[in-house]
């Protein structure tokens, strides 16, 4: 570890701290329909949208109607994305003439459920990608299909967080806002302006932005590669033992993929989506070319979620509570980044012969799978931030991290979007745990738990527990099936032993946590993985949202109870500590056995000289 590395991590965190209040105040104004500096431009656009779509912006919804509107909107837009993918071969903006996803001409091969997986993935703000974007998706699919969902899934997340906050803040009311209005305002005020500025900033750093066909570059030196031999129809020729016949091919050119990257990159980070324009995601020099673009991307991952903690304080009239929630998130974030940075800077003792010492020419530590322009500190920081916030973009390959370094991203996602979390999703994610924390505090002193003057009763706790139980249920069930099934489960792994388990566990955790980052090392573009991870993502999103909205609706109806001596204050460091403890204990009780069999045992075996 170096002083320079720590300084960069501190600088990043200071930046987030600085924008939390202004962004929080801005969002409070937006969702309270108070005046903002963007109103002269955006208000007419907003009014036009309501006019075109017949939305009455004054009409409020009960939680059930809010939930149905959200589900319908998600279902319709998921279907639209599915159709765009399947039909992209017949649609415009396709200079590479890429065939429809899941058709025989596509790089996904014949039908493997890839289009369903991707539609579920982008609708749920997961952005898990089982396909290679630059060889699979046309520019239209990337822009009107994928980037569109980057905007709307993020806007829906913010809308839901605001609805939950209203539920806490309101007293004796039946409604929690209007889904259409909240979504449109999130999109117009919170997402679009930053993305326009962010895209321009990224372009200034060298991120490409065009609609040209791919370029071909001549290699300086011809390369020989071994490839599978194919017959005239393009089918792989197999030997008697089933292994493919190999042939040597000389490569003299390289295809330079490009496209409307900067505009997609901005919302990919600001909306904590994380689905890359290219397969290498933010490690690709056209997506994330410089240390500054890297800082900008990490900033974009956390900014809205951090700001929402201030909005929470503003709208509930308890600014200290907002900061207490921020402090809990920040403590969990710092814990993760310290472990990840330490583990990666410490290096891998089994990488014999590689120079792992810090010097003028070496980053030091485990640089396998990392970009030299980012080094250890910025790779560890990015990995922590992207998994805390359910973003899922990567600038280094998590599969190549040391076992403990790789445990951090995995554990972050397992804590269920509570550490800043996805835009909006992080806020309602942690508020579920706030309900559990005040319930536990109430049990300790033998009083009815209260949260900001609202009595937390059995219905609220049941709903919160539903969220806490469904999440591990779907992850552990599918992981258990995949790890014992040699035909469709373990056959897709590139690594055996505990590392193989980590790869499968990570895939389902990433799906359920709506993160979307991959541990890689697993070929997930199969019918089994596409379908089950697709289902996992839908369950992870909507089975969390519906109980959360139920709590919001129930809280909105309640009376305010004046605080008494027995009221547990939710504004103190003690509350933040309790909240962190509840999150860690629930996460540890649920996932520790699986983590012991995966990264923890792998770490012990690495020290014993064994690698996988």
Partner 1 sequence: MSDEKKTLTLAAMPPDLRKVYDLPLQALLVSGCAPSLVLWEQTAFQNSWGVAPL
| Number of DSSP helices (H) and strands (E) in the chain, helices first | 20, 4
User: What's 596's DSSP letter?
Assistant: I
Write phi, then psi, for 526 (nearest 5 degrees).
Answer: -125, 165
Helix (H) or strand (E) holding 463: helix 458-484
Choices 125-133, 180-188, 322-330, 570-578 (CB under 8 A): range interacting with partner 1: 180-188
Work out how close the CB of 59 gets to partner 1 at its nearest, in angstroms, rounded to a whole number. Answer: 9
Work out how close the CB of 76 gets to partner 1 at its nearest, in angstroms, rounded to a whole number. Answer: 4
Q: Residue 212 interacts with partner 1 (CB under 8 A)? A: yes
Helix (H) or strand (E) holding 18: helix 3-31
Q: Residue 38 interacts with partner 1 (CB under 8 A)? A: no
Helix (H) or strand (E) holding 226: strand 215-228
Helix (H) or strand (E) holding 224: strand 215-228
Work out how close the CB of 44 gets to partner 1 at its nearest, in angstroms, rounded to a whole number. Answer: 13
Q: Which is nearer to partner 1, 54 or 234 (CB)?
A: 54
Burial class (CB in 10 A: 0-12, 13-18, 19+), 127: buried
Cβ 112 vs Cβ 525: under 8 Å? yes
Q: Residue 49 interacts with partner 1 (CB under 8 A)? A: yes
Q: Residue 64 interacts with partner 1 (CB under 8 A)? A: no
Helix (H) or strand (E) holding 454: strand 454-455
39, 60, 65, 368: which one binds partner 1 (CB under 8 A): 65
238-277 binders of partner 1 (CB under 8 A) = 256, 258, 260, 262-264
43, 96, 289, 473: which one binds partner 1 (CB under 8 A): 289
Distance CA 56, CA 59 (A): 6
7, 17, 18, 196: which one binds partner 1 (CB under 8 A): 196
208, 300, 329, 345: which one binds partner 1 (CB under 8 A): 208
Q: Residue 47 interacts with partner 1 (CB under 8 A)? A: no
Distance CA 103, CA 238 (A): 23
Write phi, then psi, for 370 (nearest 5 degrees).
Answer: -115, 155
Q: Which is nearer to partner 1, 266 or 337 (CB)?
A: 266
Q: Which is nearer to partner 1, 62 or 229 (CB)?
A: 62
Q: Residue 199 interacts with partner 1 (CB under 8 A)? A: yes
Q: Residue 80 interacts with partner 1 (CB under 8 A)? A: yes
Cα angle, residue 457 at apex, residues 455 and 463 outer, rounded to 5°: 125
Whose CA is closest to 324, among 225, 409, 181, 438?
438
13, 128, 131, 151: which one binds partner 1 (CB under 8 A): 151
Q: Which is nearer to partner 1, 50 or 111 (CB)?
A: 50
Q: How many residues bind partner 1 (CB under 8 A)?
A: 46
Distance CA 244, CA 238 (A): 4
Q: Residue 538 interacts with partner 1 (CB under 8 A)? A: no
- Residues contacting residue 243 through CB under 8 Å, at least 6 positions apart: none
Work out how close the CB of 189 gets to partner 1 at its nearest, in angstroms, rounded to a whole number. Answer: 13
Burial class (CB in 10 A: 0-12, 13-18, 19+), 359: exposed
Whose CA is closest to 506, among 491, 523, 518, 489?
518
Count of CB atoms situated within 10 Å of the CB of 90: 9
Choices 144-152, 301-309, 533-541, 546-554 (CB under 8 A): range interacting with partner 1: 144-152
Choices 64-72, 226-234, 535-543, 544-552 (CB under 8 A): range interacting with partner 1: 64-72
Could you give the C-alpha distances from 28 to 14, 76, 162, 334, 344, in angstroms and in order?
22, 29, 9, 27, 39
* DSSP SS3 for 253: strand
Q: Which is nearer to partner 1, 289 or 335 (CB)?
A: 289
Work out how close the CB of 100 gets to partner 1 at its nearest, in angstroms, rounded to a whole number. Answer: 18
Fill in the per-residue mask, 347 to 376: x = in contact with partner 1 (CB under 8 A), - = not in contact.
------------------------------
* DSSP SS3 for 3: helix
Work out how close the CB of 264 gets to partner 1 at its nearest, in angstroms, rounded to a whole number. Answer: 7
Q: Residue 53 interacts with partner 1 (CB under 8 A)? A: yes
118, 129, 183, 517: which one binds partner 1 (CB under 8 A): 183
Count of CB atoms situated within 10 Å of the CB of 236: 11
Work out how close the CB of 402 gets to partner 1 at its nearest, in angstroms, rounded to a whole number. Answer: 33
Distance CA 507, CA 481 (A): 13
30, 69, 101, 306: which one binds partner 1 (CB under 8 A): 69
Q: Residue 604 interacts with partner 1 (CB under 8 A)? A: no
Q: Which is nearer to partner 1, 187 or 345 (CB)?
A: 187
Work out how close the CB of 79 gets to partner 1 at its nearest, in angstroms, rounded to a whole number. Answer: 9
Where would I find the H helices in 32-132?
39-53, 63-87, 114-123
Choices 68-76, 226-234, 319-327, 356-364 (CB under 8 A): range interacting with partner 1: 68-76
Choices 52-60, 450-458, 462-470, 594-602 (CB under 8 A): range interacting with partner 1: 52-60
Distance CA 585, CA 580 (A): 8
Burial class (CB in 10 A: 0-12, 13-18, 19+), 130: buried
Produce one character per residue of 187-196: b if its CB has 16 or more CB atoms within 10 Å, e if not: bbbbbbebbe
Choices 45-53, 401-409, 475-483, 595-603 (CB under 8 A): range interacting with partner 1: 45-53
Q: Residue 144 interacts with partner 1 (CB under 8 A)? A: yes
Q: Which is nearer to partner 1, 202 or 586 (CB)?
A: 202
User: What's 213's DSSP letter?
Assistant: P
Work out how close the CB of 102 gets to partner 1 at its nearest, in angstroms, rounded to a whole number. Answer: 21
Helix (H) or strand (E) holding 451: strand 450-451
83, 173, 203, 481: which one binds partner 1 (CB under 8 A): 203
7, 17, 18, 75: which one binds partner 1 (CB under 8 A): 75
What's the full length of the chain, in residues?
612
Binding site for partner 1 (CB under 8 A): 49, 52-55, 65, 68-69, 72-73, 75-77, 80, 143-144, 147-148, 151-152, 180, 183-184, 187, 192, 195-196, 199-200, 203, 206, 208-212, 215, 217, 256, 258, 260, 262-264, 286, 289
């Amino acid at each position: 570890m170096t002083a320079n590395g720590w300084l960069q991590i501190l600088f990043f965190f200071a930046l987030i701290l600085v924008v939390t209040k202004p962004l929080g105040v801005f969002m409070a104004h937006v969702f309270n329909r108070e005046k903002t500096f963007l109103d002269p431009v955006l208000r007419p656009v907003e009014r036009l949208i309501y006019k075109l779509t017949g939305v009455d912006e004054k009409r409020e919804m009960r939680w059930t109607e809010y939930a149905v509107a959200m589900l319908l909107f998600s279902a319709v837009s998921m279907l639209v994305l599915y159709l765009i993918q399947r039909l992209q071969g017949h649609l415009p903006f396709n200079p590479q003439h890429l065939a429809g996803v899941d058709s025989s001409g596509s790089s996904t091969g014949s039908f493997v459920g890839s289009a369903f997986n991707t539609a579920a993935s982008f609708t749920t703000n997961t952005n898990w990608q089982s396909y290679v974007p630059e060889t699979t998706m046309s520019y239209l699919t990337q822009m009107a299909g994928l980037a569109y969902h980057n905007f709307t899934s993020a806007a829906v997340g913010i809308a839901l967080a605001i609805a939950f906050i209203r539920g806490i803040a309101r007293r004796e009311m039946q409604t929690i806002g209007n889904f259409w209005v909240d979504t449109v305002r999130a999109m117009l005020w919170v997402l679009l302006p930053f993305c326009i500025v962010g895209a321009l900033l990224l372009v200034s750093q060298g991120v490409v932005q065009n609609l040209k066909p791919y370029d071909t570059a001549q290699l300086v030196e011809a390369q020989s590669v071994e490839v599978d031999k194919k017959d005239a129809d393009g089918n792989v020729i197999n030997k008697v033992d089933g292994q493919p016949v190999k042939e040597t091919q000389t490569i003299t050119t390289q295809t330079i993929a490009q496209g409307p990257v900067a505009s997609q990159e901005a919302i990919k980070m600001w909306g904590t989506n994380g689905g890359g324009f290219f397969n290498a995601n933010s490690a690709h020099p056209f997506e994330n070319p410089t240390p500054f673009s890297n800082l900008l991307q990490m900033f974009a991952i956390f900014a809205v979620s951090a700001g929402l903690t201030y909005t929470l304080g503003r709208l509930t009239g308890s600014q200290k509570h907002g900061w207490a929630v921020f402090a809990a998130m920040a403590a969990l974030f710092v814990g993760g980044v310290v472990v990840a940075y330490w583990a990666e800077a410490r290096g891998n003792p089994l990488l014999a012969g590689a120079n792992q010492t810090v010097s003028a020419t070496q980053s030091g530590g485990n640089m396998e799978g990392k970009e030299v322009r980012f080094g250890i500190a910025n790779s560890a920081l990015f990995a922590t931030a992207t998994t805390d916030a359910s973003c899922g973009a990567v600038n280094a390959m998590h599969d190549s991290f040391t076992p403990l370094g790789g445990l951090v991203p995995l554990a972050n996602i397992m804590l269920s979007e509570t550490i800043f979390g996805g835009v909006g999703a992080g806020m309602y994610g942690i508020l579920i745990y706030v309900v559990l924390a005040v319930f536990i505090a109430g049990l300790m002193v033998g009083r009815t738990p209260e949260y900001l003057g609202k009595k937390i009763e059995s219905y609220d706790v049941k709903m919160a527990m539903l969220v806490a139980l469904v999440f591990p249920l779907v992850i552990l069930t599918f992981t258990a099936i995949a790890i014992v099934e040699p035909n469709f489960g373990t056959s897709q792994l590139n690594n055996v032993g505990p590392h193989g388990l980590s790869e499968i566990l990570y895939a389902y955790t990433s799906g359920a946590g709506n993160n979307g980052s991959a541990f890689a090392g697993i070929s997930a573009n199969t019918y089994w993985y596409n379908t089950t991870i697709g289902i996992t993502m839908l369950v992870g999103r909507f089975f969390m949202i519906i109980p959360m909205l139920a709590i919001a609706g129930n809280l909105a109806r309640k009376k305010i109870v004046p605080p008494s001596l027995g009221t547990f204050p939710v504004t103190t460091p003690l509350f933040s500590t309790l909240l962190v403890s509840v999150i860690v204990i629930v996460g540890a009780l649920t996932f520790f056995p699986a983590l012991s069999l995966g990264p923890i045992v792998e770490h012990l075996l690495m020290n014993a000289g064994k690698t996988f």
